[in-house]
Amino acid sequence: MITIRRCSKEDEASIIDLINGIMNNEFREVKHAYPTEDVECIEKAYGGIGEAFFVALDGHAHKVVGTVAIKKEDERVALLRRLFVAPTHRNQKIGKKLIDHALEFCREVGYEEIVFKTTSRMSGAIDLCKKNGFLQRAHIVLGPIELIKLALSLKESAHLLKGKS
């Protein structure tokens, strides 16, 4: 069973292992675009008001198998960061659960918009965000790296959710 919760100090080594493993195995050529200082001290990086770092835990394996973080950009905008799912646990809707949890947190805090910035190489995360209503707002080519910015209006998505009930 997969549980989504805020990370604890005890999770930090597993989070670093998960993210570094994925970056080294799948995104080595763009790894330099993703410094990891923030996950080396999660409490400092994501401990502010309106910020959070969530993990997906596999209850059977007793390990972190996914992550997502929310960082405050300003009073109305949050940044979605560190969206990762272990290769062994993909295609199980864990990424969707992580995004849903992050969106719920952002709505509770009162953010109006959530933004996800990544490289075009992270196509799985981009596709997942688009399936969850994010729209592409920017595409910037910097030499061999293509940066993508996706955004979701929480006001519009809340209105759509109310219409479905």
Structure tokens at 42: 């999660």
Q: Is the dihedral of CA 125, 129, 130, 131 positive or negative?
A: positive
Residue 24 to residue 91: CA distance in whole angstroms: 21
Residue 64 to residue 5: CA distance in whole angstroms: 10
Does 117 score more than 60 pLDDT?
yes
114 class by beta-carbon count within 10 Å (0-12 exposed, 13-18 middle, 19+ buried): buried
Structure tokens at 10: 């005890």
Confidence of residue 159 (pLDDT cuts 50, 70, 90): very low
Phi-psi region at 11: left, alpha or beta (left = phi > 0; alpha = psi -120 to 50): alpha
Q: Could you give the number of structural domains in the chain? A: 1
| Mean per-residue pLDDT over the chain, rounded | 91
Residue 85 to residue 116: CA distance in whole angstroms: 16
Structure tokens at 106: 């952002």
Structure tokens at 146: 């293509």
pTM above 0.85, yes or no: yes
Does 162 score more than 80 pLDDT?
no
Instruction: Yes or no: say if 78 and 114 are a contact pair by the CB < 8 Å rule.
Output: yes
Instruction: Express as a percent the part of the chain with pLDDT over 90.
Output: 76
Strand order in the sheet with 113-119: 2-6, 52-58, 63-72, 77-85, 113-119, 145-153, 135-142
Structural domain of residue 26, as residue ranges?
A: 2-164
Residue 135 to residue 129: CA distance in whole angstroms: 8
* Domain harbouring 34, CATH code: 3.40.630.30
